[in-house]
Structure 1
Amino acid sequence: MKSWKDDPRADTNPLFNDNPLKLGLFGLNGIGISMTNVPEAPNARWSESVAVSKIADEAGFEANVPYARWRGFIEEEPSHRSGLAMDCYTWAAATSQLTSRGGVFSTSHVPTIHPIAAAKQCATIDLISGGRFGLNVVAGWNKPELDMFGAPMKEHDDRYAQAAEWIEVIRQLWTREEAFDFEGQYYSIKKGISLPKPMQKPFPPIMNAGGSDRGRAFAAKYADMAFVIVKSDDPDEIRKEADLYRRTAREEHGRDIQIWTYAYVVQRETEQEARDYLNYYAVEHGDDRALDGWMRLQGMHTQLMPKDVMEAMRFRFKAGNGGFELVGTADQITARLEILKQGGIDGVLLGWVGFEDGIRRWVKDVMPRLTQAGLRLG
């Protein structure tokens, strides 16, 4: 079995480099990963994308991952700011021209774009970026958004069946020189072809977040980077989940995959300052309406939860959409990242309230500590 560390795409794409813990940005094209109404929160500003992407690129970040969003979470108010997000494909193409080192992703919800269109757009961005592109594939979960496209949301397993077919078509379009027919349950292709081909061979890497058993099976077969939500601070517990993905990929498909997660960051000179700011944006100015709308979309019934469990969950999602907590001083954040690495995590996507201020603090104080801790090569 060939390791991803020997992947030929490493010649152009830093996602396959030797850094023990890879780093990325998440949600820079929209409002970030926190549900808050503070004025300094991200607001789908291109100027912010430009500034932050350049800083991350110069610092050696491996990934810059946008999210796809078409409307707000509040059903009766679809124009709510929770729907703010620049289009992922055009954003990725533009961002690739701002940068020269880091990997640039698009995120694509399968039912919202035909695989022929997606294949050509991905190949184009891969060529523009010089072979640094990656695709984050989402099977589709937001029913009101899919309704906008006239694509009613399918049952859970059917969504992954469609996503598998979608990827099979795209990979053929990326690799086959001759036109081909494809007749599946979800797509019918007559003499399909896509030119030009991507720079990366055999094709650009794919990221996927699948938390269910079916989602894990999908990621193990198709993804180069499986994206998991860390639910524990115990490295042994984290490793159990990471190893389950790796074992599934190796034993069932003879593949070696990376395991990534995401985290929200609040870095200050003291832990108390960091906690105070976290409370300011997540509690005093947390966007409870957006969270309520998101929870309804997820089918979460809070009345069935104990009150303390419900409140802890609500806080975590307003703080950073349920991500791993990186709150405190640079030393404390480094120690938390060591926990992730001990748990078998290969990469972390990061989000801040106030991206530019946050990444400047990170580059100045956290990056050197990561090198000292052996998490980065420097």
Structure 2
Amino acid sequence: MSHSFPRFGIWALVHGSRAALQDPAEPYDASWARNKALVLEAERLGFDSVLVAQHTVNPHDPTLDQLEAWTASAALAALTSRIEIIAAIKPFLYHPVVLAKMAQQIEHISGGRFAINLVNAWNRPELERAGIAFPEHDDRYAYGREWITVVDALLRGQNVSHHGERFHIDDYRLLPADPFRARPRIYVGGESEPARELVAAHGDVWFINGQPLDDVAGLIGDVSARTRPDGHAPLRFGLSAFVIARETHAQAEAHLDRLFTLAERDKPLRERQKANIDPNVEMFKTFARSPRVGSNGGTAAGLVGDYDTVARRIAEFHRAGIELFMLQFQPFEHDMRRFAQEIVPRVRRELAA
């Protein structure tokens, strides 16, 4: 597995706070102004990537704000100079030809720093209330696989003629082609069997939800052993994690306890959200295994403790094959700065030892 230095990224605050929505230390704010400032500061601090999740309505509370992923990503591409911009996409919301052209344009705006995060949706009302069908789990992945097949070829500048079950495209080509690389990077989320098959066939990086090291190592081993198409580089791996790093372990645990207490105030929202979730989504089965705060596994990855402990655990995940850590914090800006100052240098020393 890789022993070079890992990359670190942040989750954009597209629907506000990640652990508890009613936190006096972090008022709920999913605005463009906050996210712009957040990403610009992350770039200055040395973070490598930002993930902009896609929702058309707030998945927690439809009365709250929700940043739009693709317009925001285009703007961030123009405002930044180094950080990778990863925009999530739910295939049912965009025809593959339209989305490929949008991705190609943001790739040009960014100078070769754009990426797609393919997700296959779990929030049923977001689609159904728009009059868009919400198929069963495996059917969504079949749709996503055909969709990304078209998008991948278009992003490579190929002339595409595709006649599948869902899409019929005749001699279509998008210009100008990518002058920076073969195509933008493709990240894939999801841990079900169809998701694993999809990422092995079309992904460059597999996003794994936060969970213990042994579980992550097992997932990496399974997908690494799968056949890749000819000419594709070996698959790389990313991990979502919520970080609580403090000078002492007791301080970190106290902050975790505080967030658990605050998160209890969101219980009515979580109950309403639960009714909207496809119960077959593997992510939510994983979340049920242990208490946690944060989204996409959150603190289940175990990055809670004193500075040295958190740095050591990150190094262990990296040695197991995690190349990119996509991180959450609360309070976000404050703890993001703390991570850059205290944890990143320790990780470098740990991996250099």
Query: TM-score under structure 1 normalisation?
Result: 0.82
Three-state SS of the structure 2 residue aligned to 1:208 is strand
Cα distance 1:345–1:98, how it changes in 2: closer, same or farther (>3 A)?
A: same
- 2:169 counterpart letter in structure 1: I
Give the Cα separation in 1 of the matches to 2:6 and 2:78: 25
Give the Cα separation in 1 of the matches to 2:94 and 2:212: 35
Q: Is the 8 A contact 1:25 1:63 kept in 2?
A: yes
Equivalent positions of 1:248-327 (< 5 A) are 248-250=226-228, 255-286=233-264, 287-299=266-278, 313=290, 315-316=291-292, 318-323=293-298, 324-327=301-304
Q: CA deviation at 1:374?
A: 2.0
Q: CA RMSD in A?
A: 2.8
Partner residue, 1:46: 32
Partner residue, 1:10: none
Q: CA deviation at 1:22?
A: 1.5
- 1:268 counterpart letter in structure 2: R
Could you tell me which of 51, 58, 61 is aligned with 2:47?
61
Task: Say which is worse superposed, 253-262 or 115-124, in terms of deviation.
Answer: 253-262
Q: CA deviation at 1:88?
A: 1.1
Q: CA deviation at 1:85?
A: 2.6
Give the Cα separation in 2 of the matches to 1:267 and 1:206: 30
Unaligned runs of 5+ in 1: 6-17, 302-308
Cα distance 1:110–1:48, how it changes in 2: closer, same or farther (>3 A)?
A: same
Give the Cα separation in 2 of the matches to 1:372 and 1:90: 39
Give the Cα separation in 2 of the matches to 1:142 and 1:336: 32
**Is residue 62 of structure 2 the alignment partner of residue 78 of structure 1?**
yes
Cα distance 1:169–1:375, how it changes in 2: closer, same or farther (>3 A)?
A: farther
Q: CA deviation at 1:251?
A: 8.8
Partner residue, 2:211: 231
Partner residue, 2:169: 189
Cα distance 1:251–1:195, how it changes in 2: closer, same or farther (>3 A)?
A: closer
Deviations 1:14-49 (A, max 9, x none): xxxx94321111133332432431140552133332
Q: CA deviation at 1:263?
A: 0.6
Q: Is the 8 A contact 1:112 1:149 kept in 2?
A: no
Three-state SS of the structure 2 residue aligned to 1:281 is helix
**Is residue 179 of structure 2 the alignment partner of residue 199 of structure 1?**
yes
Unaligned runs of 5+ in 2: 281-286
Task: Say which is worse superposed, 357-366 or 318-327, in terms of deviation.
Answer: 318-327
**Is residue 190 of structure 2 the alignment partner of residue 210 of structure 1?**
yes
Q: CA deviation at 1:71?
A: 2.4
Q: CA deviation at 1:174?
A: 2.2
Partner residue, 1:118: 99
Give the Cα separation in 1 of the matches to 2:268 and 2:98: 35
Q: CA deviation at 1:238?
A: 2.8
Q: CA deviation at 1:277?
A: 2.1
Give the Cα separation in 2 of the matches to 1:251 and 1:53: 34
Cα distance 1:98–1:176, how it changes in 2: closer, same or farther (>3 A)?
A: closer
Partner residue, 2:7: 22
Q: CA deviation at 1:254?
A: 6.1
- 1:103 counterpart letter in structure 2: E
Q: CA deviation at 1:348?
A: 0.9
Deviations 1:339-368 (A, max 9, x none): 312332221100112221111111111111
Partner residue, 2:129: 148
Q: Is the 8 A contact 2:7 2:47 kept in 1?
A: yes
- 1:70 counterpart letter in structure 2: T
Q: CA deviation at 1:121?
A: 0.9
Deviations 1:196-244 (A, max 9, x none): 323343211100112111110101111100011243244xx43221111
Cα distance 1:33–1:221, how it changes in 2: closer, same or farther (>3 A)?
A: farther
Cα distance 1:43–1:143, how it changes in 2: closer, same or farther (>3 A)?
A: same
Q: CA deviation at 1:106?
A: 0.9
Give the Cα separation in 1 of the matches to 2:241 and 2:19: 10
Q: Is the 8 A contact 2:21 2:28 kept in 1?
A: no
> Identity of counterpart residues, as a percentage?
26
Query: TM-score under structure 2 normalisation?
Result: 0.87
Deviations 1:304-327 (A, max 9, x none): xxxxx96x74x41x4444232322
**Is residue 81 of structure 2 the alignment partner of residue 128 of structure 1?**
no
